[in-house]
Amino acid sequence: MKNISNFLTILTVSLLLQPLGSYAQTNMGQIRTIFQAKCASCHSGATPEAGLDLSGTEAQIYANIVNVASTMSESGEKLIAPGYPYRSFLLKKMNNGLIHETDAALTANEGEHMPTPVYGGEPVTDKDVELVRQWIYRGAKQTGTAVNKNLIDTYYTDGGFAPIERPAPPAAGQGFQIHLGPLFIAPDEEHEYALKYDLGLPENIEVKRLDVKMPIQSHHFILYKYLPGQSNSISNGLRDVGVFNIPGDGSTMVAAWAYSGAYRVPAGTAYKWQGNDVLDLNLHQPNPSQTSILPADVYINVYTQPNGTAIKEMKSDLVTFNSPFFFVIPGNAINYPLEETVIPSEQRNIWNIGPHTHKYGVDFDVWRRNPNGTKGEQIFEGQENGYYDWEHPNNGYYEPYYILPANTGFIHRALYTNTSSSAVTFGLTTDNEMMITYMQYTEGEPLTFVGVPNIKERYCVNADPIVFQPTGGTITGNGTSGNQFLPSAAGVGTHSVTYTYHDPTYNENITAEYDITVTPALETPSITNTDNVLSTSGNYESYQWYVNGNAIPNATLNYYVPTTSGNYMVAIMQDGCLTFSGNSSVVFTGIANAPINQSNVWVYPNPYQNEFRIQYQLTETSNINIALYNTIGQQVATIVPVSRQTNGTYNYHFDAQQLPTGVYFLQTTINGKTYLQKLVQN
């Protein structure tokens, strides 16, 4: 289909170059300094420890370690494998506990970590280990490797965002884990990276599930797989994405994520990976904080099954808007459309569709194409509850599959509202724009969908029975009967359930396998009313507020500021459980804060600890800016940058854990009028 690299070559370089930040060049001189101080006491002389001499010149040390097999590694790892820190035996030996044991484990025969006081070496610091790790990520070059040493020093001296919690890898024999990171992002910077990753598989495999965990601030993570032979020209090591090295050239997309989540492909299908396959890991990572360094880690849990298990291969496609000369969104444009028609030559049995835009995107839709070229049935709606979340867009799943016959085609369209006065064009950062539709599908005659459409990971113990499709299959597992799983009968815990159905078209049995977790029921939540600000506990996954029995649009936080009298209640959701509070009667007597130009602004809670939320209502399209200042007038954070927004209700969450306790002032400016509110962090 349409290749993103072909698209970009038409555009000017100035649109696509990203700022790379101010890097302190790290080369073998700095790496040699670490080895000299920490390692050379043992690794020098006529008979250096393990036959490894780390006392020579930069060129000599480089020749001794880079792409050289270790004599101590039981698996035959290289001392330094450029681009692969967790396959570099020397880094594992240097590890002082900084790197997780999953990435840096040593066997009993591989010895202990070095250096230790027994050998008289100086202790290896976190900064040392990190500098070597980042040097390896950047390709372990002898000269000119761009590693921001100052960023590493600052992070390990002053701190920053805590790394995300590492997920447990698949159990032995069920798959493996890929780890990308940490990659350090300076405050208020945004970078996109790619890393070639040779799987090194001993045999062909099938992948039935992909789980990705990444920072909540990430914009996207895309997993590509190179076509045979196409990775040979790509160097090992982290690449800064730019005009001449866009991921996707010479490769196909496997799957894409805008936020942490899992792709569990339907029973009878799998992604098929060959023993010599090479992946490309593509991370787009902004750091919205103006004060804290962000370490970005991505974990990919790959769940496998024996080759030949699946009947159909799950395929993927990433379709870009391919008319660059028309990719211009005028300044101040509202709901500006970009639309194209795509006509695949093969039949697609679509399982998943997802959209991708940047911050100006306000809607994304896909239609089936009629024979006369007009829009037919709508296949995908990007808005959920009347809102398109460009950072965490809605995904469409089709279980059973949506069948798009060969040469039928589809029409995809995105709408953009340009809040700036200048035109916006295609580009790589969130200040530019994109329009991408990605989909996953099988070809040929579709399989029967076997299992539970859009099954969840967790269900409440008092949930309704979970019905497997189609009827007539065989079910096994605790709490199962007929073609149903009954959470109340299974009880709280995790239960393995299988459902097997014979597909008459292929004359094959298809078996869906699920681990279903049943969670205990929730206690009834209570509502606190403080000056007509309603709130409940903030420890649940999601919320929905109601007034007089009707759901309030976009009222999905753990608090709500009423603007009318009525009976209010809140629904809370956690681990598959849903429960409602009792009613709280509100007699409306005013708003929490004074209006600005007929636009109401609320901040909650105040005082706050570590975080607060802002809700405001615009009665008309307005220019807005919200910033936080300390008591001496210094701006410490931009919460809503200068922008133009349409009428409606907006909610923002601000993570203030990196700010010291004390008094702050929130300055809100709407259409030139400013309101200042005092905030207190305890």
DSSP 299-354: EEEEEEE-TT--SEE-EEEEEE---GGG-EE-TT-SSEEEEEEE--SS-EEEEEEE
375 band by pLDDT with thresholds 50, 70 and 90: very high
Average pLDDT over residues 389-398: 90
Whole domain around residue 615: which residue ranges?
Answer: 601-681
Average pLDDT over residues 383-411: 91
User: Does 5 fall in a domain?
Assistant: no
Of 17-21, 260-264, 565-569, 664-668, minimum mean pLDDT range: 17-21
- Judge if 36 and 129 occupy the same domain: yes
Q: Is the peptide bond before 123 cis (omega within 30 degrees of 0)?
A: no
Task: Report angle CA 182, 227, 356 to the nearest 5 degrees.
Answer: 55
The CATH number that applies at residue 651 is 2.60.40.2550
**Which range has the top average pLDDT, 33-37, 142-146, 397-401, 532-536?**
397-401
- Quick check: 296 pLDDT over 80? yes
The SS3 of residue 229 is coil
The domain total for the chain is 6
User: Does 159 fall in a domain?
Assistant: no
Average pLDDT over residues 318-333: 84
597 band by pLDDT with thresholds 50, 70 and 90: very low
- Quick check: 591 pLDDT over 50? no
Task: Report angle CA 586, 587, 591 to the nearest 5 degrees.
Answer: 95
- Quick check: 198 pLDDT over 60? yes
Q: What per-residue confidence (pLDDT) applies to 650?
A: 83
User: Does 161 fall in a domain?
Assistant: no
- Quick check: 326 pLDDT over 80? no
* Helices of type H across 39-148: 58-65, 89-94, 101-104, 126-137
Q: What per-residue confidence (pLDDT) applies to 561?
A: 76
Structure token pair of residue 88: 């570099």
- Judge if 292 and 364 occupy the same domain: no
- Judge if 493 and 613 occupy the same domain: no
Region of residue 676 (left: phi > 0; alpha: psi -120 to 50; beta: else): beta
The pLDDT mean for the chain works out to 87
Average pLDDT over residues 641-655: 82
Q: What per-residue confidence (pLDDT) applies to 23?
A: 42
Phi, psi of 64 (to 5 degrees): -80, -20
- Judge if 297 and 319 occupy the same domain: no
- Quick check: 15 pLDDT over 50? no
120 band by pLDDT with thresholds 50, 70 and 90: low
- Judge if 495 and 533 occupy the same domain: no
- Judge if 301 and 321 occupy the same domain: no
Query: Strand locations in 33-174, DSSP E?
Result: 145-146
User: Does 520 fall in a domain?
Assistant: no
Cα torsion 29, 35, 41, 46: sign: negative
Please state, in angstroms and rounded to a whole number, the distance separating the CA atoms of residues 443 and 439: 13
Q: What per-residue confidence (pLDDT) applies to 681?
A: 81
Please state, in angstroms and rounded to a whole number, the distance separating the CA atoms of residues 446 and 648: 43
E strand or H helix at 156, and its extent? helix 149-158
Q: Which residues of 532-571 are buried (b: 16+ CB within 10 A; e: fewer)?
A: bbbbbeeebeebbbbbeeeebebbbbbbbbbbeebebbbb
User: Does 9 fall in a domain?
Assistant: no
Please state, in angstroms and rounded to a whole number, the distance separating the CA atoms of residues 149 and 510: 53
- Judge if 137 and 233 occupy the same domain: no
- Judge if 65 and 88 occupy the same domain: yes
User: Does 533 fall in a domain?
Assistant: yes
226 band by pLDDT with thresholds 50, 70 and 90: very high
Please state, in angstroms and rounded to a whole number, the distance separating the CA atoms of residues 27 and 31: 7
Chain centroid to Cα 253, Å, comes to 16
The fraction of the chain above a pLDDT of 70, given in percent, is: 91
Q: What per-residue confidence (pLDDT) applies to 134?
A: 95
Closest by CA position to 30, among listed 159, 185, 145, 183:
145
- Quick check: 335 pLDDT over 80? yes
Which amino acid, one-letter code, is at 102? T
Q: Evaluate whether 528 touches 535 at the Cβ level (below 8 Å).
A: yes
**HEC states along 547-593?**
ECCEECCCCCCCEECCCCCEEEEEEEEECCEEEECCCEEECCCCCCC
Structure token pair of residue 680: 């207190």
The CATH number that applies at residue 233 is 2.60.120.230
Closest by CA position to 22, among listed 232, 180, 188:
188
CA of 411: how far to CAs of 109, 202, 208, in Å? 60, 42, 29
Please state, in angstroms and rounded to a whole number, the distance separating the CA atoms of residues 358 and 285: 13
User: Does 270 fall in a domain?
Assistant: yes
Q: Which residue has tokens 């399209």?
A: 621
Which amino acid, one-letter code, is at 25? Q
Q: What per-residue confidence (pLDDT) applies to 64?
A: 93
Which amino acid, one-letter code, is at 339? E
- Quick check: 145 pLDDT over 90? no
Of 38-47, 339-348, 445-454, minimum mean pLDDT range: 38-47
Alpha carbons within 13 angstroms on the beta-carbon side of residue 176 total: 9
- Judge if 190 and 301 occupy the same domain: yes
> End of a domain among 147, 182, 203?
147
Closest by CA position to 190, among listed 18, 24, 356, 23:
18
- Quick check: 359 pLDDT over 70? yes
- Order the strands of the 220-226 sheet from edge to edge: 238-240, 190-198, 278-286, 220-226, 251-257
Q: Which of the pair, 279 or 217, is modelled with greater confidence?
A: 279
User: Does 441 fall in a domain?
Assistant: yes
Please state, in angstroms and rounded to a whole number, the distance separating the CA atoms of residues 185 and 126: 18
Average pLDDT over residues 448-459: 93
Please state, in angstroms and rounded to a whole number, the distance separating the CA atoms of residues 248 and 5: 7
Other CB atoms within 10 A of residue 601 CB: 24
- Judge if 333 and 362 occupy the same domain: yes
- Quick check: 438 pLDDT over 50? yes
- Judge if 284 and 368 occupy the same domain: no
Closest by CA position to 660, among listed 632, 622, 639:
632
Please state, in angstroms and rounded to a whole number, the distance separating the CA atoms of residues 441 and 344: 12
Q: Evaluate whether 542 touches 556 at the Cβ level (below 8 Å).
A: yes
Please state, in angstroms and rounded to a whole number, the distance separating the CA atoms of residues 419 and 528: 37
Name beta bridge partners: 191: 285
121 band by pLDDT with thresholds 50, 70 and 90: low
Other CB atoms within 10 A of residue 283 CB: 26
Q: What per-residue confidence (pLDDT) applies to 656?
A: 83
Question: What does the DSSP 8-state code read for residue 503?
Answer: E
Q: What is the pTM of this model?
A: 0.79
- Judge if 304 and 336 occupy the same domain: no
Q: What per-residue confidence (pLDDT) applies to 595?
A: 43
Please state, in angstroms and rounded to a whole number, the distance separating the CA atoms of residues 282 and 280: 6
The SS3 of residue 41 is coil
428 band by pLDDT with thresholds 50, 70 and 90: confident
Please state, in angstroms and rounded to a whole number, the distance separating the CA atoms of residues 226 and 278: 6
Please state, in angstroms and rounded to a whole number, the distance separating the CA atoms of residues 34 and 36: 5
